Amino acid sequence: MNSSEKTTDSYYRSLTRNIVLIIVGVSVVPLILITLTIRHFSQTSYQDKVIEHLQVLNKKHKQNIDSFLRERLADITVMKDSYTLDQLANNDFLKEKLQSLQKNSSDALVDLGIVNDQGIQIAYAGPYDLKRAHYAEAPWFKEAIQQPSYISDVFPGLRGIPHFIVAVRGSDNGRQWLLRATVDFDKFNSLVENIRIGETGFAFILNKKGEFQTKPRTEVPPLKDPYLNFLSPDTRDNEQEGIVSNSQVDGKGVIHVMSRLKNGDWVLAFQQTESDAYKALYLVRTVSVLIFFVGVIGIIVVAVLLSKRLVKRIRQADQEKEMMTEKFIEAGKLASVGELAAGIAHEINNPVAVMLEEAGWMQDLITDAGPESIPMVDEFQRSLAQIKAQGVRCKQITHKLLSFARKTDPIPKKVNVNDITREAISLCEQRVRSGSVKIQAQFADGLPTIRVSPSEAQQIFINLINNAIDAIEPKGGAVKISTRQEGDFLVVDVADNGPGIPSYVLPRIFDPFFTTKPVGKGTGLGLSICYGIVKKLGGDISVNTAEGMGTTFHVKFPIPKAREEKTGH
């Protein structure tokens, strides 16, 4: 591989690379943008949807829990308002009331008790033996006695299991007493415990101290800050419900949804890991990433294959163009050489004519004066004859040069190739009459006519036949001329059985002034004239030769299409 091929190779390689980059760039960049945009918007809207859903859920449950607590409070408030302390202090009465309450509220209340202002439970109905229990020191009592109604945090209390109480304050002759009821912790817990979202989502209730008011389903992460912040007095005025905050737990995003319960004493919290909440989104994301990469790989493969094919075609086209350019250069070379030759021939022709006339004049003078009177007359005669002979040789050369460039009757006519060829043969036959050369003609019948200038066509055949005769002349042989039709072309073959054209000569035979004949025999213009004429007609001239096997020239003339022929006449 030479260096120019290397450079063209690298040119086509970089062309391929550029096309691939352009195709990939143009298709992948919008793909990336679209994917990112869609991904962003779908993610945002999906997250909004999920959070909104969680907020609605949270709100609904908050209302449920609030109404549960309100109902329990209402139960005992009605009881306190309906009956006197004396009635309620009766254990049996209280038991009866408890049973009816439990019936109405589906066992949400575990027990009932009446506590006097000393903190002593004076009456009790329920499964535990808590009559005469002293609550004076219990924190709930201290608070409850201050307020008309009260709901406590969850505490183990005397019974040792977590529970909480609701209490209303009544007064009897200026003495405060409390009607308290214990809420079934399991019942209350189930309100919250059953709230489950996805795999990791669950709900729980915290009080201000960060203590669980329900049994959390799973271990709640240590960070309770968001909830405590939410409940802190600073944000209390802020009426916002369902605040969502995201935090990181063990490297995982967690969503918190919160709302206040019990006048802001408790917080109902939802907690779910992001990966769970956005599970569907992540699935879509994974699938879209997969599709994206498959698409990109597809684009790259197609781009590479496509541009390779494209560049292959471009390369072919370039090569064809190069060949065409070479042919044009060849034709241009012929034309300019022709013009040059014509100019030179014309300029030389006149001086040669003068020289010949002067030589003739000298000969005339010798003849006139009588050859005997001139010393060395023989030498003069010989010299003049030589001048004349060389002058004639010059004349022949200039005439051939002029015929190379001159515009012979260029008007194309409808001609029969056989007729033209026959004429050319008859013109050349004078040369072979004496020699041992035979000319054989083999014409096909019924050939279509072609449109050429008869004089030009004849020039071609005379040149070719003369060349053929020259090739076989010393030894003798045969020149075979045949005509035939080959597709859209008429072909005339001029074959000889001479020595053939040596391969080192072959590439140059159509070059102007190239000749293998001895000096004075050939001008080297015959074949280039033929070449020029045939190419001008849109035909072709080619040669088959092998050393020792003879040479065949094929001249191809295009057959005019029927329609063109009609308009031509």
Partner 1 sequence: MITTKLLMIDDEESFVSALSKRLALRDIEVVPAHSGQEGLNKLDEDPSIEVVLLDVKMPGMDGIETLRLIKGAHPIAEVIMLTGHATFETAIDGMKLGAFDYLMKPCEIDELTTKLDAARKRHQEHLDKILEATGKQLRGQRAR
353 binds partner 1 (CB under 8 A): yes
Contact 452, 489 (CB under 8 A): no
Least Å distance, CB 456 to partner 1, is: 13
Helix (H) or strand (E) holding 551: strand 550-558
Q: Specify the stretch interacting with partner 1 by CB under 8 A; choose among 132-140, 174-182, 347-355, 536-544.
A: 347-355
Between 162 and 532, whose beta carbon lies closer to partner 1?
A: 532
Which residue in 6, 17, 346, 393 binds partner 1 (CB under 8 A)?
Answer: 346
Nearest to 258 by CA among 523, 491, 62: 62
398 binds partner 1 (CB under 8 A): yes
Residue 29 token pair: 């960049």
Contact 191, 175 (CB under 8 A): no
Which residue in 35, 90, 349, 544 binds partner 1 (CB under 8 A)?
Answer: 349
342 binds partner 1 (CB under 8 A): yes
Least Å distance, CB 384 to partner 1, is: 13
129: DSSP letter: -
Least Å distance, CB 444 to partner 1, is: 33
409 binds partner 1 (CB under 8 A): yes
Contact 506, 516 (CB under 8 A): no
176 binds partner 1 (CB under 8 A): no
Binding mask 476-515 toward partner 1 (x if CB under 8 A, else -) reads ----------------------------------------
Q: Specify the stretch interacting with partner 1 by CB under 8 A; choose among 24-32, 202-210, 290-298, 359-367.
A: 359-367
Least Å distance, CB 310 to partner 1, is: 52
Q: Which amino acid is residue 17, in one-letter code?
A: R
Sorted by sequence, the CB contacts under 8 Å of residue 235 that are 6+ apart come out as 229
Strand partners, 116: 177
Strand partners, 486: 489
Least Å distance, CB 401 to partner 1, is: 9
364 binds partner 1 (CB under 8 A): yes
413 binds partner 1 (CB under 8 A): no
Alpha-carbon span 398 to 393, nearest angstrom: 9
306 binds partner 1 (CB under 8 A): no
Q: Specify the stretch interacting with partner 1 by CB under 8 A; choose among 107-115, 184-192, 204-212, 353-361.
A: 353-361
Alpha-carbon span 170 to 88, nearest angstrom: 11
Total number of residues shown for the chain = 569
Contact 398, 352 (CB under 8 A): yes
Q: What is the CA 400 to chain-centroid distance, rounded? A: 63
361 binds partner 1 (CB under 8 A): yes
Alpha-carbon span 101 to 93, nearest angstrom: 12
393 binds partner 1 (CB under 8 A): no
Which residue in 399, 422, 535, 536 binds partner 1 (CB under 8 A)?
Answer: 399
Which residue in 137, 219, 368, 372 binds partner 1 (CB under 8 A)?
Answer: 368
For tokens 């002759």, the residue is 173
Which residue in 51, 89, 402, 415 binds partner 1 (CB under 8 A)?
Answer: 402
Which residue in 236, 327, 333, 406 binds partner 1 (CB under 8 A)?
Answer: 406
Contact 522, 505 (CB under 8 A): no
Q: Specify the stretch interacting with partner 1 by CB under 8 A; choose among 342-350, 439-447, 471-479, 536-544.
A: 342-350
Alpha-carbon span 452 to 533, nearest angstrom: 10
Strand partners, 492: 483, 555
Least Å distance, CB 353 to partner 1, is: 4
Encode burial over 412-449: b for 16+ CB neighbours within 10 A, e otherwise.
beebebbebbbebbeebeeebeeeebebeeebeeebee
> Got the DSSP string for 147-197?
SSEEEPPPB-TTTTS-BEEEEEEEEETTEEEEEEEEE-HHHHHHHHHT-EE
Strand partners, 550: 546
Q: Specify the stretch interacting with partner 1 by CB under 8 A; choose among 174-182, 227-235, 390-398, 437-445.
A: 390-398
Which residue in 147, 408, 436, 503 binds partner 1 (CB under 8 A)?
Answer: 408
Which residue in 159, 208, 285, 395 binds partner 1 (CB under 8 A)?
Answer: 395
162 binds partner 1 (CB under 8 A): no
Q: Specify the stretch interacting with partner 1 by CB under 8 A; choose among 152-160, 184-192, 223-231, 352-360.
A: 352-360
Between 285 and 395, whose beta carbon lies closer to partner 1?
A: 395
Alpha-carbon span 38 to 32, nearest angstrom: 10
Least Å distance, CB 431 to partner 1, is: 21
Number of neighbouring beta carbons within 10 Å of residue 247 = 14
Which residue in 352, 465, 471, 501 binds partner 1 (CB under 8 A)?
Answer: 352
60 binds partner 1 (CB under 8 A): no
Alpha-carbon span 57 to 215, nearest angstrom: 19
Backbone phi, then psi, for 27, in 5-degree steps?
-90, -35
Residues near partner 1 (CB under 8 A): 342, 345-346, 349-350, 352-354, 356-358, 360-361, 364, 368, 391, 395, 398-399, 402-403, 405-409
